[in-house]
Amino acid sequence: MNEKILEIENLTVSFSGFKAINNLNFSMDAGELRVVIGPNGAGKTTFMDVITGKTKPQEGNVRFKGRNILPYKEHEIACMGIGRKFQTPRVYLKLTPRENLELSCAAQKNVFAALFGKPSGSERRTVNGLLETIGLANKADIPAELLSHGEKQRLEIGMLVAQSPDLLLVDEPVAGLTDEETEAVGNLLLALAESHSIMVIEHDMEFVRQIARKVTVLHQGTVLCEGSMDEVQNDPRVIEVYLGSQDEADH
Ligand code: ADP
Ligand code: MG
């Protein structure tokens, strides 16, 4: 079954005449884990902004599960089942990981229950399962401010999953993490990919190698090439634009 979760046609986004996204075409199957890479300024974040409704394009079509989502506002698109994790963790630092997850689980159903209610039995089971999945069962009841950066990233990914989105968008989840933390986040995304459609934007090539199945390379707002990590890495155009610019970024 190759149902498309996301289909994007002829997408163009201009900022005062500059095309951050330029006639971009892209599609993703339901259940896929896709990594989107590209040099700084390639348009990766703008691409995610369009999918979540934060930025509206000048031209093109965006369909989520076959439905045109362009007319909808950001919060409406979130309700339709597109969840986004921003680059920096946004967890409640004074609350414990368990409490953060309980809020996310319940928020999906009823805001008042989330604020004032006690978690139901099934919610408690879900939260315990999520704590296991994100590897924080042993730190479930300490304030989140005591977690490492990598643990906070995993907690936030758990909070995203608690909202049961059909499509998870994850923007640079390993920026600033140690190698060990990076691997833990990679393993978490691989585990979640068993049962979710996930798009990851990433810069860290080691990490991309760890998780990537199909990779899309963006350059100047358009798709430069797509394929397996090996195919993409050996494509002369990618070597020129991506690795060239990484070199610049390093100096
Ligand atoms: P990436 O995430 O791949 O680094 P971005 O999507 O952030 O790239 O940006 C793509 C290009 O669009 C960059 O040249 C950036 O300067 C420009 N851009 C992004 N957002 C805006 C904006 N709100 N106004 C003007 N230019 C923007
Ligand atoms: Mg970006």
- Number of domains, the chain: 1
What is the extent of the structural domain holding 228?
1-79+212-251
Ligand 1 neighbour 38 (Cβ under 6 A): yes
At 101-158, the pLDDT tens digits run: 998 876 655 555 555 555 566 666 689 999 999 999 999 999 999 999 999 999 999 9
Report CA(141)–ligand 1 centroid distance (Å).
39
Whichever domain contains 73, its CATH number is 3.40.50.300
Task: Concatenate the DSSP letters of all residues of 85-104 into one string.
Answer: E-SS----TTS-HHHHHHHH
Check residue 164 and give its pLDDT: 85
In a domain? residue 216: yes
Residue 212's pLDDT is: 85
pLDDT for res 246: 54
Q: What is the pLDDT of residue 188?
A: 93
Runs of H (alpha helix) within the chain: 44-51, 74-80, 97-107, 111-116, 121-133, 149-162, 179-193, 205-211, 229-233, 236-238, 244-250
* Amino acid found at 99: E
- On whether residue 239 sits in a domain, the answer given is yes
Q: Is residue 47 part of a domain?
A: yes
Q: Is residue 220 part of a domain?
A: yes
Spatial distance between the Cα atoms of 160 and 47, rounded to a whole number of angstroms? 19
The ligand placed nearest to the CA atom of residue 37 is 1
Is 225 among the domain residues?
A: yes
The pTM score is 0.87
Nearest residue (by CA) to ligand 1, atom 20, is: 46
User: Which of 46, 56, 84, 219 has most ligand 1 atoms within 8 Å of CB, for mutation?
Assistant: 46
- pLDDT value at residue 109: 54
Q: Is residue 154 part of a domain?
A: no
What confidence score (pLDDT) does residue 30 get? 95
Whether residue 69 lies inside any domain: the answer is yes
Secondary structure in 3-state letters for 50-84: HHCCCCCCCEEEEEECCEECCCCCHHHHHHHCEEE
Residues 200/173, Cβ–Cβ less than 8 Å: yes
- The list of the chain residues with pLDDT below 50 reads 248-251
Q: Ligand 2 centroid to 251 CA: how many Å?
A: 19
Q: What's the pLDDT score for residue 211? A: 92
The pLDDT of residue 9 is 98
* pLDDT of res. 103: 87
Ligand 1 pocket check for 42: Cβ under 6 Å: yes
Query: Is 251 part of any domain?
Result: yes
